[in-house]
Amino acid sequence: MNLYWLLILPTITAFALLLGNNLKQVRMIAFGGALLQMVLAFILLFAFWQQRSAGNTAPMLFENNLSWFAPLHINFHTGVDGISVAMIMLTSFVVLSAVLVSWKMDMQYKTFFFLLIFLSIGAYGFFMSLDVFTLFFFLEIAVIPKFMLIGVWGSGKKEYSAMKLALMLMAGSALVFVGLMGLYFNTADTSGAHSFDLMQIAQMHIPVEAQMIFFPFAFVGFGIFTALFPFHTWVPDGHSSAPTAASMFLAGISMKLGGYGCLRVATFLMPDAAHAYSWIIILLSTIAIIYGAFATMMQKDLKYINAYSSVSHCGFVLLGIGMLTETSITGAVMQMVSHGLMTALFFAAIGMIYSRTHTRMVAQLGGLLKIMPFISTVFVIAGLCSLGLPGFSGFVAEMTVFMGSWQNPDTLYRLATILACASIVVTAVYILRAVGSTVMGPVTDEHYNALTDAGWYEKLAAIILIAGIVAIGIAPFWLNQLIAPVAATILKK
Amino acid sequence: MLNDFFILMKFELLPAVIFFVLLFIKVGTAELSNASIIRLANILLFINLVAGFFYNKDGGMFGDMFHTNALIVLQKSILNLGIFIVSLQAEAWLRTHKHVIEFYLLLLSSLMGMFFMISGANLLMFYLGLELATIPLAALANFDLEKRKSSEAAMKLIMSSAFSSGLLLFGISLMYGTTGTLGFAQLPALLNGSNLQVFAFVLLFAGFAFKISVVPFHLWTADVYEGAPVPVTSFLSVVSKGAFIFVFASVLYTVFKPLADTWYHMLFLLSVLTMVIGNLFALRQQNIKRMLAFSSIAQMGFILIGISGSSQAGTASAVYFVLVYVFTNLAAFGVVALVSAQTGKEDITDYKGFHATNPVLAWVLAIALFSLAGVPPTAGFFGKFFLIMAGAAKQNYWLITIAALNMIVSLYYYLNLVKALFMDANASPVPKITFGVYAKLAIVICIAGMVLSGLASVVYEYIYNLSTGF
């Protein structure tokens, strides 16, 4: 399996889109491209399993190392381990269903699909990069398409949200950039040359003083992407102003770039600092979990509800990373995958409801189950997954985080764990309230009676995501087997 | 010997030949139409650009007054490329202008001056080249003959140029007074860091800072950029600045190497000032040319960071950034030139809703802005990354942090313009702009350059291998 296909295919798709003459052709090309991405992701998964079961224990598989900027020791080094495979799978799921929910996009559709597919290049490239420079390159590549998607196709105060998102994410990249520079100039191999190579840096010992300075830069920088408190403020505005597909991508994948970066770059490469600063990470993530949950209770707009609950849920990711036990890190990655699928499903359902009722206000919605049973069911499933019902992925992921966190015997850490656990009750409150009053009860507006249920494309989009959620919920071991060995490697360093 | 003369001075001779060809056409009897003059000039400039790549040789002449090597050849070729694109973009404006040939004559003599300046291996030669490069610029800035703002721009340019030349000349004479020589080869050994020498160096440094509009010597920039015709502005901001940066870097690295500690701190201070002030002023600009002027000031701050790295990567990243900047800024100015030539509109608010009427030009401008902001996959990202990386080699992380924060500020005003182009509604947007084959060619070159010179690492590697540092 050559990983470059995951970059080449979206690139070809994106440019093929521009040749399409009408919406039908364009969306078929986008759909075909996204479907092929998914096929490639599955091929990658099976090839990965095959290698692992054949006893290949190399930390990274399918490696490719091309020299890019030789004088600066920058290589186009790609390869995957279990976590990367899981994230690549997640990306392919979300991209495909994002294309499907945008089936009726009629405004500047060519550019819209181009930007959407372009975003996926950034995500795939990011997850497969083993060179910190390329990782950073792909991290930044996705910022501008998001700005354009929100600003042009968004709703509400879209310009403000787009600008806020772009500037905050760029600030995150800027911090990451400083962190990477510090990292680079503190590496030296046997010949004294600096290195950007992730696997090489992992073998070296970065001086502890340097780690203490640059870990915060890298961690906070990536943390901004994943809604680290108090830098989460772009999340609610960005998500709620974005068009459905962009919201799905933002919450489903883009926020995961941050978590992955915190784990792969900050924690993996600067372990001493990670241990020293873990209490701050835990403190901030606990605040994010609880604050996010309570803030969600006050929201009246469905998209804001999901956006704030994303802050809370992504807090679990950072909590798991901060706890620094094998189980908690495994849980953090599972939570990334699970939250990616779940939140994408949630946004898809909200988008479907909004495109019909033209409102996202909980108070104005009601009795939708009678009118659009499929969409309502999807909405309920997304809600139940979000509150952590057993059988869905959310339960597995959050449970693993809690188990892992409890392994940390320190009293304060246990207190944080208990507080985080308690937030689930709040989650249940807001989810049940929002879902209940939207789906159940009398129909609030008689115009709603004339509305239709989901089209085939919407059904397909939802089914893809639900399949992923249920697969993890019922049989979590396959995901666990991908992640746990990597978590162990990260901690062993 | 004669052969050497022609090969070593090829870059200077070619513009001279073109200059005389055009001059003879001007004084000859045949009345050529504007269109055919422009066509001829562009063809000649293209030949000039291509000819630069062949038959090059290292060497010096005139008793070490003049020298050339592979890096200098590359720098001159970058300027040749810049002037070719500028000339392509000027077509929309020159088509109806009364003095087409004069425009090219002035442009070429300025280019020739820059080449002599870059090749100068003696402060005297350098100064002569610099004057030849600067004086035609003042006439060019006044080329919208009937516009008052244009004359005002020319006046400001000539005053500030004269002042900075005075500073340079004073510095040069003091330098001569303390060392007794002006040759680049002899100077380093005679520099001992005495107070008078440092003073002379500061004067020289200030003269340079004027030319590349580094804060606090930037005050002329915005007014001149705003008043001058757009093609002249783009020439000033890209080609002229590029030439001064080349010389600045090489003079610092070779001649003033013994004073490296002194100029490192000066560069640090000036780059921070330049970035911060350039960016903050750019935030408030209403006129797109003024905004680009302040943004180009801020970009100079980034270049100073690269130069402060003073390693091989320092030279390489500065030269590379100028190449990237040629494509990027000329793409931005190209669109502005088209709009300005056809509608006369130059305010940012005029660009609201631009995408609705001119989707292609809107995307070209947007990509150029992304590249200016340093967003991948455009070449601007690589340019900025390598500049800051070169500076970071000194392990001065304050400088990089300030630079990184400045990138966010600059992103804000670039995105504000993108927002105006794509997202803001406008009752009377700029009408559909028609553009001819010249402008199309310029756009294609710029876009290809912005994409390829970044992603294709050979460009940077080539420059790096030619570069020197210490």
Asked whether the beta carbons of residue A171 and residue B408 sit closer than 8 angstroms, the reply is yes
What is the Cα–Cα distance from A163 to A179, expressed in whole angstroms?
A: 24
Å from A190 to nearest chain B CA?
A: 18
User: In this structure, are residues B362 and B354 in contact, taking their beta carbons and an 8 Å threshold?
Assistant: yes
Give the confidence band of B382 by pLDDT, cuts at 50, 70, 90: very high
Nearest CB to B404 within list A74, A143, A178: A178
CA separation, residue B190 to residues A74, A297, B194 (Å): 40, 75, 10
A91-A92-A98 Cα angle (round to 5):
85
What is the Cα–Cα distance from B265 to B271, expressed in whole angstroms?
A: 10
Nearest CB to A185 within list B393, B418, B422: B393
Per the model's pLDDT, the better-predicted residue between A189 and B376 turns out to be B376
Mean pLDDT, residues B308-333: 90
Give the confidence band of A189 by pLDDT, cuts at 50, 70, 90: low
| DSSP letter (8 states) at residue A227 | T
B441-B446-B452 Cα angle (round to 5):
120
A369-A372-A374 Cα angle (round to 5):
90
The predicted structure's pLDDT at residue A43: 92
Q: Testing the interface with A: which of B311, B397, B405 to mutate, by most A Cβ within 10 A? A: B397
Is the pLDDT at B1 greater than 70? The verdict is: no
Residue A162 contacts B where some CB pair is shorter than 8 Å: yes
The predicted structure's pLDDT at residue A369: 82
For residue B183, list its beta bridge partners: B122
Residue A59: cis peptide before it, omega within 30 degrees of 0: no
Tens digit of pLDDT for each residue in B24-49?
888 876 677 888 888 888 898 898 88
Residue of chain B minimizing CA distance to A154: B423
Q: Average pLDDT of chain A?
A: 88
Mean pLDDT, residues A166-190: 87
- Give the tokens for residue A124: 């795939």
Identity at A258, one-letter amino acid code:
G
The predicted structure's pLDDT at residue B241: 92
Residue of chain B minimizing CA distance to A167: B408
Q: Testing the interface with B: which of A66, A68, A72 to mutate, by most B Cβ within 10 A? A: A72
Mean pLDDT, residues B437-444: 92
DSSP string, A167-224: HHHHHHHHHHHHHHHHHHHT---TTS----BHHHHHHS---HHHHHHHHHHHHHHHHH
Per the model's pLDDT, the better-predicted residue between B417 and A194 turns out to be B417
For residue A47, list its beta bridge partners: none
Residue A212 contacts B where some CB pair is shorter than 8 Å: no
What is the Cα–Cα distance from B297 to B302, expressed in whole angstroms?
A: 9
- Give the tokens for residue B357: 């009427």
Tens digit of pLDDT for each residue in B110-150?
999 999 999 988 899 999 999 999 999 988 998 888 888 88
User: In this structure, are residues A491 and A324 in contact, taking their beta carbons and an 8 Å threshold?
Assistant: yes
The predicted structure's pLDDT at residue B321: 94
Is the pLDDT at A391 greater than 70? The verdict is: yes
User: In this structure, are residues A306 and A439 in contact, taking their beta carbons and an 8 Å threshold?
Assistant: no
Is the pLDDT at B380 greater than 80? The verdict is: yes
User: In this structure, are residues A165 and A146 in contact, taking their beta carbons and an 8 Å threshold?
Assistant: yes
Residue A287 contacts B where some CB pair is shorter than 8 Å: no
Give the confidence band of A447 by pLDDT, cuts at 50, 70, 90: confident
What is the Cα–Cα distance from A249 to B98, expressed in whole angstroms?
A: 56
Give the confidence band of B383 by pLDDT, cuts at 50, 70, 90: very high
Mean pLDDT, residues B320-346: 91
- Give the tokens for residue A307: 């956006």
User: In this structure, are residues A490 and A267 in contact, taking their beta carbons and an 8 Å threshold?
Assistant: yes
Contacts of B465 in chain A (CB under 8 A): 71
The predicted structure's pLDDT at residue A87: 92
Asked whether the beta carbons of residue A170 and residue B405 sit closer than 8 angstroms, the reply is no
Å from B457 to nearest chain A CA?
A: 6
Å from A238 to nearest chain B CA?
A: 15
The predicted structure's pLDDT at residue A368: 82
The predicted structure's pLDDT at residue A209: 87
How many structural domains is chain A composed of? 1
Asked whether the beta carbons of residue B397 and residue A69 sit closer than 8 angstroms, the reply is no
What is the Cα–Cα distance from A259 to A337, expressed in whole angstroms?
A: 11
Name the phi and psi angles at A189, rounded to 5. Answer: -85, -170
Q: Which segment of A44-48, A334-338, A405-409 scores lowest on mean pLDDT?
A: A405-409
Asked whether the beta carbons of residue A140 and residue B376 sit closer than 8 angstroms, the reply is yes
Q: How far apart are the first and last CA of chain B?
A: 33
Residue of chain A minimizing CA distance to B425: A152
Å from A83 to nearest chain B CA?
A: 25
Å from A263 to nearest chain B CA?
A: 23
Residue B435 contacts A where some CB pair is shorter than 8 Å: no
The predicted structure's pLDDT at residue A192: 66
Residue B60's Cβ-count burial label (10 Å; 0-12, 13-18, 19+) is middle
| DSSP letter (8 states) at residue B212 | T
- Scan for tokens 């008689």, then name that residue: A446
Residue A160's Cβ-count burial label (10 Å; 0-12, 13-18, 19+) is middle
The predicted structure's pLDDT at residue B136: 92
What is the Cα–Cα distance from B182 to B180, expressed in whole angstroms?
A: 7
Handedness of CA B36, B41, B46, B47 (dihedral sign): positive
Asked whether the beta carbons of residue B389 and residue A162 sit closer than 8 angstroms, the reply is no
- Give the tokens for residue B190: 């005679």
Residue A323 contacts B where some CB pair is shorter than 8 Å: no
Q: Where are the alpha helices (DSSP H) in B180-259?
A: 187-190, 195-211, 219-227, 230-234, 241-250
Contacts of B377 in chain A (CB under 8 A): 137, 141
Pairing status of strand A74-80 against strand A61-69: antiparallel
Is the pLDDT at A330 greater than 70? The verdict is: yes
Give the confidence band of A445 by pLDDT, cuts at 50, 70, 90: confident
Å from B295 to nearest chain A CA?
A: 17
Q: Which segment of A66-75, B103-112, B365-374 scores lowest on mean pLDDT?
A: A66-75
Nearest CB to B464 within list A71, A178, A182: A71
- Scan for tokens 């962190």, then name that residue: A179
The predicted structure's pLDDT at residue B362: 92
Q: What is the ipTM of this complex?
A: 0.91
Residue B316 contacts A where some CB pair is shorter than 8 Å: yes
Asked whether the beta carbons of residue B376 and residue A137 sit closer than 8 angstroms, the reply is yes
What is the Cα–Cα distance from A213 to A215, expressed in whole angstroms?
A: 6
The predicted structure's pLDDT at residue B112: 93
Q: Which segment of A68-72, A190-194, B272-276 scores lowest on mean pLDDT?
A: A190-194
Contacts of A140 in chain B (CB under 8 A): 375-376, 381
Those residues with Cβ within 8 angstroms of residue A222's Cβ, 6 or more apart along the chain or in another chain: A172, A176, A257, A258, A259, A260, A261, A262, A265, A266
- Taking a contact as any Cβ pair under 8 Å apart, which residues of chain B between 350 and 379 contact chain A? 370, 375-377
Is the pLDDT at A443 greater than 90? The verdict is: no
| DSSP letter (8 states) at residue A376 | H
Give the confidence band of A484 by pLDDT, cuts at 50, 70, 90: confident
Mean pLDDT, residues A106-135: 90
What is the Cα–Cα distance from B99 to B94, expressed in whole angstroms?
A: 8
For residue A301, list its beta bridge partners: A361
Tens digit of pLDDT for each residue in B54-68?
887 888 888 888 888
* Other beta carbons less than 10 A from residue B469's beta carbon: 17
Give the confidence band of A421 by pLDDT, cuts at 50, 70, 90: confident
The predicted structure's pLDDT at residue B2: 67
Domain that holds residue A309: 5-492
Residue A216: cis peptide before it, omega within 30 degrees of 0: no
* Other beta carbons less than 10 A from residue A208's beta carbon: 12
Residue of chain A minimizing CA distance to B377: A141
Kindly provide the b/e burial profile for residues B310-331, where b requires at least 16 CB atoms within 10 angstroms of the residue's own CB: bbbbbbbbbbbbbbbbbbbbbb
Å from B415 to nearest chain A CA?
A: 7
Residue B396 contacts A where some CB pair is shorter than 8 Å: no
What is residue A62's three-state secondary structure? strand
Tens digit of pLDDT for each residue in B160-189?
889 999 999 999 999 999 988 888 888 888
